[in-house]
Chain A
Amino acid sequence: MNYVMAFLFSGFICFLAQMIYDNSKLTPGHITSLFVVIGSFLDLFHIYDKLIEIFHAGALVPITSFGHSLMHGAMEATEKYGIFGIASGMFDLTAAGITAAILFGFLVAIIFKPKS
């Protein structure tokens, strides 16, 4: 059941993005930026946490979850460090993804040749 839910939600977000892409002049860069902002906004009322409870990986994989994780980490840290927590906790939950992307991206760029 979790697989079906993950499939449906992840697919739905991608479908929405594709609709925006095909019906506007926005580039993938615009759309991913927009979705990240939406994701962090949805953390405001703990809506995204509910989505993760229901759809599991389906809500964790789209880029919207990146915005949610940034916001979530920042808010968790404010409980301990006050207003400074927003900056110090910002990457608490997204550190793994960004570190992995930089590291593996660098290694791939060193090892492989660019395809024209």
Chain B
Amino acid sequence: MDRKEYDRLAEELKPGGHRVKNGLNAFLYGGVIGAIAQGLLEFFMNAYHCSEKDAIPMMTITLVFVACLLTGLGLYDNIAKHAGAGTFIPITGFANSMTSSALDSKSEGLIMGIGSNMFKLGGTVITYGIVSASLLGVIRYVFTLFG
């Protein structure tokens, strides 16, 4: 087998060959989570007779609770294997990263394990969210002063 043929074979066997399937799975799983969230949103709006804005935290808390529980039961990772970005982009992925970091470092103790490792994966989202929102916020604030 010469070099060219080897490269061709390697290209075929690369996991990237399933890109279409991965994309479709991410779309389906992510979409289903979005639809479930819509169901929760409408349920809480009816149950508490409140606006959509007031129902958002209730919906978020419920989704986060379910995601943490599924992570603890070891089921979230099984779904994530198929869903890819479909499970790490929704807010449930944030809950999953916090819970799995805490769970994995449990053996190191309550403080040095769970306490200090909880934000190991999820912390980046908070850090860059705050940094970008602060910078853009200052820019917009200055514009409103002079605009």
Q: Who on chain A is nearest to B19 by CB?
A: A22
Which of A9, A17, A90 is the one whose CB lies under 8 Å from B88? A17
Given contacts A10-B33, A36-B129, A36-B132, contact A19 B23 (CB under 8 A): yes
Chain B residues with Cβ below 8 Å from A51 are none
Minimum Cβ distance to chain B for residue A28 (Å): 4
Residue B50 interfacial (CB < 8 Å): no
Q: Find residues 31-74 in chain B having any chain A CB closer than 8 Å to their own CB.
A: 31-35, 37-42, 52, 56-61, 63-65, 68-69, 71-74
Number of interface residues, chain B, beta carbon within 8 A: 78
Contact B60 A96, beta carbon cutoff 8 Å: yes
Q: Who on chain A is nearest to B90 by CB?
A: A61
Given contacts A74-B133, A86-B141, A102-B98, contact A18 B52 (CB under 8 A): no
Chain A residues with Cβ below 8 Å from B134 are 74, 86-87, 90
Which of A11, A28, A39, A60 is the one whose CB lies under 8 Å from B56? A60
Residues of chain B touching chain A, judged by Cβ–Cβ distance below 8 Å, are: 16, 19, 22-35, 37-42, 52, 56-61, 63-65, 68-69, 71-74, 77, 83-86, 88-95, 98-99, 102-104, 106-107, 114, 118, 121-122, 124-130, 132-134, 136-138, 140-141, 144
CB<8 Å pairs between A and B, sample of 17? A11-B31, A14-B26, A28-B85, A32-B89, A32-B94, A33-B124, A40-B129, A41-B132, A60-B60, A62-B91, A63-B89, A63-B90, A75-B137, A87-B134, A101-B122, A108-B68, A111-B72
